[in-house]
Each structure stands twice: as C-alpha cells, then as structure tokens.
Amino acid sequence: MFRSCRRSLVVSQISLAMLFLATWGLAAPVTTRPVEGLRSNTPDVHALVGARIVVSPGHVIEQGAVVVRDGRIEAVGRVETPADARVWELSGKTIYPGLIDAFTETSVDTASIGSGAVHWNDQVTPQLDVVDSGIRDRDANTKLRSQGIAARLLAPAGRILKGSSAVVLTNNAAAHTALVRRNVAQHLRLTVSPGRGRSDYPGSPMGAVALARQTFSDADWYQRAWQAAEADPGLPQPERNDALAALAAHVAGQGLFVADAANELFVLRADSFAREFSLNLAIRGSGHEYKRLDAIKACNRTVIVPVDFPKPPNVATAEAALAVDLEDLLHWELAPENAARLVEAGVKIAVSTDGLKDVGTFLKGMRTAVDRGLDAEAALAAVTTTPATLLGVSEQLGTLEPQKIANLVVTDGDLFDASTKVLETWVAGERFEVTTQPRFDFRGRWSITVDGEGPELTMSLTGKGTKLEGTVRAVTDSQPNEAKAGDATPDESETEASDESADDRDAEGDTKLSRLGVQDRQLSATFSAKELFGDGVVRLSGVAMEAKRGPPMLEGHLTLADGSRKTFSATRLAAADDGEDEDDEQDEDAQESQKATAEVVTFPLGAAGRSAIPEQPQSVLFRNGTVWTSSDAGVLEDASVLVIDGQIQAVGKDLKAPRKAVVIDLDGRHLTPGIIDCHSHMATDGGVNESTQAITAEVRIGDFIDADDITIYRQLAGGVTTANILHGSANPIGGQNQVIKLRWGALPDEMKLATAPGGIKFALGENVKQANWGDDYTTRYPQTRMGVEQIMRDAFEAARRYRDEQSAWQQTGRGLPPRRDLELEAIAEILEGDRWIHCHSYRQDEILALLRTLDDYEITIGSFQHILEGYKVADAMADHGAMGSAFADWWAYKFEVYDAIPYAGALMHNAGVVVSFNSDDRELGRHLNQEAAKAVKYGGVAPAEALKFVTLNPAKQLRIESRVGSVEVGKDADLVVWSGDPLAITSRVEQTWIDGRRYFDREDDLQARHRDASVRNRLVQKILDSGEEMASAEDREADESELWPREDIFCHGHGHGHGHEHAE
C-alpha cells in the first residue's frame, strides 16, 4: 500500500497509525472483491506542475509540483516529475489542500439498532453509527466538491444522544474506500424542540439535559456494574444496554463529543455539562458566539462555526421595522464577523457548511468572513488543519504533505478572493473538474472564407467559458481584414484594442449570432441570411482543428435556407479579452464598504444591553432619605446607609461619607431593600415545565438560565433584585428551582445566588391531576388529590430506601454497585434537609394533607406557593413552621381558587405565618411594591410589615435572609431608591442596586433608549442602502429558545395569555 517512503515520514504514534490502517482503503487498495473482467492497470500517477502550492496555512511554495500516486501525495515542492506520471500543467494556478467540512449531518435510520438492547428512551442512541445508514450522497458530494471540499464530517441528525459520526471523502465511492475514519465523535443535542407531546419524556430542554446527565451517569455505572458482575459470577447480572456500552467506551477512550449549541448560551451550557463528566468536547456553533466572546474563550473548546449569514430583517416600511428587534439588526451586521472575532479572541474554530441552504455558497460565506476581518491564514486553517486535528485525521488530511490522502483544490487565484474559481477538486487522487474549461476557446475575431461563391465574413465571439455571444458581418472594401492570422492565442490579451474597434463596428452591418453552442471543439450557431446569403436562416457549424503550423483553424459548413451547404474555413484574427467583466468589479466595490465594523457588543446584545457589569464603588453613601429597613429598626426618617465593597456597613443618622465615596443624596426620597420575588418563571428558556412524568425531580431550572431575557431588566426597573425561578406546576414533584440575582449583563452562572440552598417544586391540586389538560389526559397517576398525597409518600419511601441501599453497599461493598438515580437523589436530599420544598398549593385539604405527610417524614417545608386557601389552615401552617408565598389578589381563574381572597395575606400573617407576595408573572413582577400595599388595604397589615412581604419574608422563605431581604449591617447592598413612599402606587423606581452596583438607574435608562434608537436608525439606513434582499415576513422563523414558554402554562386561567391581542 505504501509504495514509497522517499520523503521522511513522521508517524508519531504507532497505535494511531494502526487505527488509520484499519479505516484506510484508497486507490490501489487491498481489496477482497474478486476482479470482474479485465484488470485495470491504468497508471494512477499524476504530477501537478507549475502551480503555486499552499502546503498548509502559512506555508506556501511559490512554484512547484505535487506528485500524486495511487491516491496519496507522494511529493510536494521542487521535485522531479516522475517518468510514469501524467502531467497537469497548472502554471498560474494555486493548489490548496482539499478542504474539510467540519460538520454535515444526515438523518439516519434507527432500524439498524432496533433489534439490539436499546435504551428505554428513544432519544438515546449513542450506539448508532452514521456509517450504517450509508455515507454516499452523490448530489451532496458534487456540491461540496464545487466548494473545494474533499472530506467532511458526517454526523447522524436528531435526538439527544445522537450517535457517532465519520469522516468521509466527497468522491462518490462507497464506504469501502470513501470512509476515512469512523466513530469520530459522539453527537449531543442538550435540548429538544418545542412541540413534543405532554407524555413524551423529555418534553423540555431541561428534561433533555436531565436525561443526558442520567445517561452519562448510567454509562459509568454500567461499566462498573459489569466489571463487578464479571468478577463475581454469583452476583445478579446487570441489564444489557448497547447505548450505555457504546457511550461508556467512548468516554473511557477520551473520544470526542460534539454538542449542538443553538446560540451562545448553549455553548456555555454544553461546556459545563462536559466538565461535569470530563468530556473531550467541541461545539457545533450557531454563528452567535461573538455575543459572549470572553466566556466562550474561557471554555477552551474548538467551535465549529457556520457561514450562513442572515438576510437583513425587513425594515422596508416603518411599520415592518417596528417589529424588528435591535438584536436581529445587530446580528445581521455582526454575524459575518463572528469567525473573525472568535479567532481574534483566541478561540480555535473550524468552519462548516452547516446551516447553508445552498452548500454552493460556502466559499462565498468564507470570503465574506475574510472580508470582514477573518485572517486568511486562520480561515484556511479553519477548513484544513483545525478540523483535521479535531476529527483525528490530521495524519491523512489537512495539508499537502507526502503520505497524506491526495485531496487537493486547484484554483485560479487566492481561495478567498471573490473572483477566484475552484477549477478542480481532487479527492483521493481522483480529479473532479469543477469549472468546465472549454476544450477550445473560440473567443475572438475570426476571418471566414466561404468556398465557392459567397462573401468573405468576419465573426466576433465574446463571452465566458462556453457561454458565448457573437456577430458576423461581411467584409467590405472600406474595412478589410486588418491582418492575417498572427500568433494571437486566447491566453494573450490584445483586448483593449479589439474591444474598442468592436464597439465602432456595432453600429451597422452586424448580424447577430443565435443559438451559439460550444461542445468540445465544435461550434454551432445560426444567423439571419439577409444581405449575406439571401433569405432565411443560416446554420453554421465548425470544428476547431489544430494546424500543423500556426494557430488553429475553424473548419465547417454553412447550411442555407434552401438546404444547400457551403464549406468554410476560418482563421483567428485576434483573441478576446479574458473575461474580467464588469460584474466582478462591482462586487469588489461593494465589498470595499463591508470591512469589519466597530460596533461594540453589549451584554446582552441589543436593547438595554451594557458593555460591562456596573462597577462596584469601594464605598457608597445613601443619605438624607427615608429608609425602610425591613428589620426591627423599622422605617428611619432622615437616615443614611453606608455601603462598603458591596455590603451594608452602617445604617443610621449622620453617617459620614468616606473619602472618594459615591454619595447618593436621597433628598427625602425612600430607600428599601431590593424586592425579592419568591415565585418567578423569568430568565429561563428551559421550558419551565417538564410535564411528561408525575415526578421529574431530576430536572434543573439552573441548567437553563437565560441571562438575556429582557424580563430581567424590566423587573430591575421595578426594584426586583432577587428572584426564585421555579419549575412549573404540571406534576406533583417537579424540578429543582434556581435563585438568581438580577445581575443584568452578567453570564447565567454569575446570576445564580450561590449561597441559596437547593430547592424543588412540588405541586398539588388541579394542575397535577391534569384536571384542565383536556380529555386526552385522564390516566396518568394521580388523577385525584387522594392520589397526589399517595405519590408523595411513595416517593419519600423510595428515596429513603435508595439511600439505605447506597449506604449498605458503601459499608459492605457487597453486591452490584448501586446505580445513581438523580431523581431519587433529589428527593433524598429533601429528607436530609438539604433541599427545600416550594409547593404550589390551593385548597386547604391538600395543604393540610401535605403538612401531615411531611410531618411523618420530619421534613419542614420551604414554602407554600400560591397557598390560596392557606388562610383557612393558617394555624396548622404556623404549627409546622410553614411559610406562605401568595398572590395578593388573584382569584377565580379556575375552580380551586374560587375561595381565594385578598385578605389571605393578612389572615396568615396575623396567625403567625411568614407571608410573602409573589408575582408568578412577568408583568406583575414589575410592581410587587404595589402588591405589598394590598396587604395594607385588605386586612390592615402595617405598612412596614407589608413591605416585608416582598423583601425580608421571601428571603426567609428561600433561606437567604442572612444575605438579603433587609437593610442591615453585613447584608448585600441590594437597595432600591424610590421617588416616594414605596407603597404609594404613584411612586416609581429610580435606582436599583445589587451588590453595591447600580444595575438600574432611570436616568441611564433614558439615555440608553436614545443610544439604542440611534443604533437602530443607523442599521435601518445601512440595510436600505445595501440593497440586499430583506427577509420576508412569511419566511420568518423564531429562535427556538423563544418558542419555549416563559411562564407556567399549566397554571390555567391565570390570564397570562395575550387577551385580545391576537384576534382570530
């Protein structure tokens, strides 16, 4: 197989080389297939000579040769042409390594694994190998080769753990020879698309991550369990599972994982998932990575980026523009700079055709990226060496070096130059012509001599390639043929002179040629006979013949209208110009104006984004205001609050400002603790509900914090500083909640309040028993409140037993190692006091029943949420130590809230229950101070106590009162400046501080509006100026993360809906 090793070859690892051998079967292969008919012994040796050779990014040989033998590169550079080689003269051309498309995918048939031991969930198919579904796709390959792509990663599409991919060549060979490497990577999609059924687990992105997490954990267990079982035949045998086996092997071998990342936040999510399981990860990017550059750089992962840049949004009319988000406008402008910005930040990238509707526009996209700042060398690396290394095929692909597979691209110029054409793509030594070069270039002026009687003619042919146009005219005395055929060849240019004279002649006497056709060396055309050959249409056909001496001749015949034929011969007078037409120049002009923009990326990108987290002054003094402390100190008039390093240092009168302190003169205005919303569903794009099973304790809101949710900013403007992001109420035991601080502009992980203890959503009543789900949902257990009570007990019992088994194994080491069950793990944490229940509750009976259940397991509840009839059993709540987080005045949206009353807060409060008012709503969360005032109205709670309903009390319910909830020394400086009494409905938030940083300021907000408006105007003008085709309304598709609910859709009749906004 290795015919020669004339040049030094470095094989770094023997084992690696062995691996290559296993998958390597190229030209002149050792084949098992019997020969049919004659043996083919066509020599397979080529010398591509005279070209500029780009050996690898940054390594160029200005003129040299590439010798290819039996599909491999034999020699590169100033080498002698082997005697047995076919010579390809390529002077003036450039040879690049064949490009590698780092990501393509194909839907695969899961039938191939169907008969094995499959995973219980059909979203988990790591044992699926894309090669088993066939890798040959002629149409795709033709397109890919037209872009210089000689190899590609082919991944299986669909599902969460999708299966393994392969690197395949883009020749049209079957797997026997086209497969470079299989099992290259395992592919992950750590989310699902909206629209899955309500009983199809996982039904949400967070469910998808939970399933993946459990599966990776199971794979680890699977391996250990089988080891134990094999070591001790007396043990029970674990289940067989092809999925877990495949996954375990891939993880153990440090195999590559490629995770889809639909936007920049998914990159960070995939990265933390990979860290959890120490995976070797690369990212299939979206083109949005520039939005969080530093964070993505910190992941230190290779990102495979697309070059499918968006069309400009429709801003053709003022009305249409109104619906266009600033972020989309900015993305139109910045998407082409994604690759450049990543490279500049030091992120390793590969580029793929992923996402392109037409793969034939790949190079166009690459060139745009280069125009917009991507270093050309880096661009080349992104389609050669980087993917080769990433995909474990750098010994075979990626550069023009001896021993590598002979994948080459021949171009007529710089690959990233707009006018450059890919002429040929060689795949494993097989030459594929991309741009059909005419066998003979007919362009120029010809002198035609017609035999016998007939006029002497001049024929002019212009055009490109095989698409020609032209004229004939009779030679008159006034304009004799200027010269006899000289040595003009098509390659030389005398273009200017001949062009000018052609223009002169256009005026009169020309007869246009029609139906001009070129095939191989034949030319055909028709023209009107008038004035030349009488009436009718003349048909011309001729063949270009090489002359023994001198230039080629065109010989053929004319068929006249009457059917008679005349032979002719023609000689070329002058060659045509070489096709630099005006279009190309215009393109270049257009690109001139497209250089990299200076637009600063804000966090998040678009409206109200900021260029950095607000600074934390070393000291801040709020002075001369009314301070609602939400502590025993009550409401202090003419008071001051001193903040040092983000924490409250002193509260009182006459505090002195330290040197260089930022002083906020309240001037009689009011200062309160930051508002805490104990029940929110904002800032998550994980779907809110994993509704498909009655118990989903394994899912985590924290896996899907959407730091870019504009609701965060809007609620900051309402004084909210901390929020409890809860799973919805679709099931008795839902997912784990996440407490965040509203650090607008920060990363998702930075928003998490790290010191908040874990929590979990429970739910009771109509939602969990599917009372309002419709007639298709009447069988899932439970369907009654009786069943709800039982399923809770059953879960606690199972978790207790789970822990017992774990500790027994740890003590004795006997038996199979216990499988880690993340669902029971979370419930066991409740039993152990490490995870707090926040339970959605309505009717008094279910409230009491849960309290009794918890009492039996010695669990103290974290909080009751909604707790609409808590006022009926406030004594029992107080006795248990249960706190209640309620709506101020919602009622009657479903039957179980017909008895909800706005006096509930006061009644519970008076009975000794710690009460908070929450929003559960993106709008209501913006004025929770007004909700607190309703406790004054309905039941006469004292104002300072009422304010605690939205400050200290929710902090207590979330067990974070040591950090936040009141204006007390040592707590975080989470503070709100109000224009007046915070319980007065006409008061407005003027500033919101978190950690001693000013996250909202109404003055700044007004300025940001102007800034955003001017950016918007600039972009609208730029789009209108660009003349680019705008995206049509009909073609609009939403970012998938926008299609997941941002509220608890199972909380029926909340009135969350659009109301009258969408007429039918």
Partner 1 sequence: MGRWMTVRAWLVLAMTVVIPVVASGHPEIPGGDQGRPVAIIAATVHTVSDGVLENATLVMRKGKIVAVGTDVAVPKNAIRIEAAGKHVTPGLFSAHSDIGLVEINAVRATLDKAETGSVNPNVKSWVSVNPDSEMIPVARSNGVLLALTAPAGGLLTGQSAVMQLDGWTYEDMTVKPATAMHLNWPAMSPVLDWETDESAKEQIASRDTALKNLRAAFDDARAYAAARAADAETPVDARWESMQPVLAGEMPLIIDADDLQQIQAAVAFAAEQKLKLILHGGYDAPLCAELLKKHQVPVIVSEVYRLPLRRGEPYDTAYTVPARLHEAGVDFCIAGGGRFGASMLRNLPYHAAMAVAFGLPEDVALKAITLAPAEILGVANRVGSLAKGKDATLIITDGDPLETATQVEAAFVQGRPVDLDDRHKRLWKKYEEKYRRLGRN
CA distances from 211 to 9, 160, 216, 700, 749 (A): 46, 9, 9, 11, 21
CA distances from 619 to 184, 644, 963, 990 (A): 55, 4, 18, 20
For position 325 contacting partner 1 by CB under 8 A, the verdict is: yes
For position 734 contacting partner 1 by CB under 8 A, the verdict is: no
Residues within window 293-322 making contact with partner 1, judged by CB under 8 A: 319-320, 322
Residue 196 C-beta: closest distance to partner 1, Å: 13
> Among residues 838, 927, 948, 997, which is the contact residue for partner 1, using CB under 8 A?
927
CA distances from 1037 to 310, 315, 357, 503, 1034 (A): 12, 16, 14, 50, 9
Range 714-742 burial, b when 16+ CB lie within 10 A, else e: bbbbbbbbbbbbbbbbbbbbbbbbbbbbb
> Given the complex with partner 1, which of 255 and 1053 has the nearer CB atom?
1053
> Given the complex with partner 1, which of 808 and 892 has the nearer CB atom?
892
β-pairing, 675-680 vs 670-673, is: unpaired
> Given the complex with partner 1, which of 592 and 1061 has the nearer CB atom?
1061
- Where does 84-208 show beta strands of DSSP type E? 86-89, 94-97, 99-107, 149-157, 161-164, 166-169, 179-181, 185-188
Task: Count other Cβ atoms within 10 Å, centred on residue 819.
Answer: 18
Taking alpha carbons only, the member of 995, 924, 953, 571 closest to residue 744 is 995
> Given the complex with partner 1, which of 391 and 933 has the nearer CB atom?
933
Residues within window 750-789 making contact with partner 1, judged by CB under 8 A: 766, 772
Which one of the spans 203-211, 298-306, 471-479, 932-940 is the region binding partner 1 (CB under 8 A)?
932-940
> Among residues 910, 944, 1024, 1026, which is the contact residue for partner 1, using CB under 8 A?
910
For position 551 contacting partner 1 by CB under 8 A, the verdict is: no
**Contacts by residues 893-900 (CB-CB < 8 Å, ≥ 24 positions apart):** 893/1052, 893/1053, 893/1054, 893/1055, 894/766, 894/772, 894/1052, 894/1053, 895/766, 896/765, 896/766, 896/842, 896/843, 896/868, 897/842, 897/868, 899/843, 899/868, 899/869, 899/872, 900/842, 900/868, 900/869
* The amino acid at 593: S
Residues within window 440-479 making contact with partner 1, judged by CB under 8 A: none
Structure tokens at 857: 């397991």
> Given the complex with partner 1, which of 124 and 326 has the nearer CB atom?
326
For position 265 contacting partner 1 by CB under 8 A, the verdict is: no
Residue 657 C-beta: closest distance to partner 1, Å: 31
419: left (phi over 0), alpha (psi -120 to 50) or beta: alpha
> Among residues 488, 741, 1046, 1048, which is the contact residue for partner 1, using CB under 8 A?
1046
Sheet of 349-351, strands arranged across: 161-164, 185-188, 256-260, 280-284, 302-305, 349-351
Taking alpha carbons only, the member of 995, 976, 905 closest to residue 942 is 905
Residue 524 C-beta: closest distance to partner 1, Å: 46
Taking alpha carbons only, the member of 33, 76, 74 closest to residue 54 is 76
Residue 448 C-beta: closest distance to partner 1, Å: 57
Residue 137 C-beta: closest distance to partner 1, Å: 28
> Given the complex with partner 1, which of 526 and 844 has the nearer CB atom?
844
> Given the complex with partner 1, which of 608 and 886 has the nearer CB atom?
608
In the chain, what is the greatest distance between 2 CA atoms, to the nearest angstrom?
122
> Among residues 566, 937, 959, 1022, which is the contact residue for partner 1, using CB under 8 A?
937
> Given the complex with partner 1, which of 309 and 1044 has the nearer CB atom?
1044
CA distances from 595 to 180, 344, 592, 619 (A): 38, 15, 7, 44
For position 743 contacting partner 1 by CB under 8 A, the verdict is: no
Residues within window 407-436 making contact with partner 1, judged by CB under 8 A: none
SS3 972: strand
Give me the count of residues in the chain: 1064
> Given the complex with partner 1, which of 566 and 937 has the nearer CB atom?
937
SS3 301: coil
- Where does 201-245 show beta strands of DSSP type E? none
> Among residues 933, 976, 977, 1020, which is the contact residue for partner 1, using CB under 8 A?
933
Q: At what angle do helices 822-831 and 205-231 cross, to 10 degrees?
A: 100
| Distance from C-alpha of 762 to C-alpha of 830, rounded to nearest angstrom | 11
> Given the complex with partner 1, which of 845 and 889 has the nearer CB atom?
889
Residue 333 C-beta: closest distance to partner 1, Å: 15
Taking alpha carbons only, the member of 409, 416, 413, 363 closest to residue 578 is 413
Residues within window 863-882 making contact with partner 1, judged by CB under 8 A: 871-872, 874-875, 878
Residue 326 C-beta: closest distance to partner 1, Å: 4
Residue 260 C-beta: closest distance to partner 1, Å: 20
| Distance from C-alpha of 674 to C-alpha of 303, rounded to nearest angstrom | 39
> Among residues 341, 838, 880, 922, which is the contact residue for partner 1, using CB under 8 A?
922
Binding mask 606-645 for partner 1 (x = CB under 8 A): xxx-------------------------------------
> Given the complex with partner 1, which of 38 and 1038 has the nearer CB atom?
1038
| Distance from C-alpha of 222 to C-alpha of 228, rounded to nearest angstrom | 10
β-pairing, 619-628 vs 256-260, is: unpaired
For position 978 contacting partner 1 by CB under 8 A, the verdict is: no
For position 288 contacting partner 1 by CB under 8 A, the verdict is: no
Give the position of tokens 């015949």: 557
| Distance from C-alpha of 329 to C-alpha of 327, rounded to nearest angstrom | 5
Phi, psi for 128 (deg, rounded to 5): -75, 125
For position 891 contacting partner 1 by CB under 8 A, the verdict is: yes
Residue 95 C-beta: closest distance to partner 1, Å: 46
Residues within window 670-729 making contact with partner 1, judged by CB under 8 A: 710, 713-714, 717
For position 11 contacting partner 1 by CB under 8 A, the verdict is: no
For position 548 contacting partner 1 by CB under 8 A, the verdict is: no
Residues within window 992-1021 making contact with partner 1, judged by CB under 8 A: 1005, 1009, 1012, 1016
Which one of the spans 43-51, 651-659, 949-957, 978-986 is the region binding partner 1 (CB under 8 A)?
978-986
Which one of the spans 277-285, 430-438, 557-565, 883-891 is the region binding partner 1 (CB under 8 A)?
883-891
Phi, psi for 587 (deg, rounded to 5): -55, -45
Which one of the spans 291-299, 302-310, 590-598, 910-918 is the region binding partner 1 (CB under 8 A)?
910-918
For position 987 contacting partner 1 by CB under 8 A, the verdict is: yes
> Given the complex with partner 1, which of 878 and 944 has the nearer CB atom?
878
| Distance from C-alpha of 942 to C-alpha of 635, rounded to nearest angstrom | 11
For position 240 contacting partner 1 by CB under 8 A, the verdict is: no
Is-contact 967 956, C-beta < 8 A?
Answer: no
> Given the complex with partner 1, which of 257 and 978 has the nearer CB atom?
978
Which one of the spans 55-63, 968-976, 981-989, 1019-1027 is the region binding partner 1 (CB under 8 A)?
981-989
> Among residues 655, 901, 944, 1024, which is the contact residue for partner 1, using CB under 8 A?
901
For position 890 contacting partner 1 by CB under 8 A, the verdict is: yes
Residue 296 C-beta: closest distance to partner 1, Å: 23
Taking alpha carbons only, the member of 610, 948, 958 closest to residue 753 is 958
Is-contact 658 643, C-beta < 8 A?
Answer: no
Number of residues that bind partner 1 (CB under 8 A): 84
Binding mask 589-608 for partner 1 (x = CB under 8 A): -----------------xxx
For position 1058 contacting partner 1 by CB under 8 A, the verdict is: yes
Alpha carbon 893 to its chain centroid, in Å, reads 39
Which one of the spans 122-130, 284-292, 831-839, 905-913 is the region binding partner 1 (CB under 8 A)?
905-913
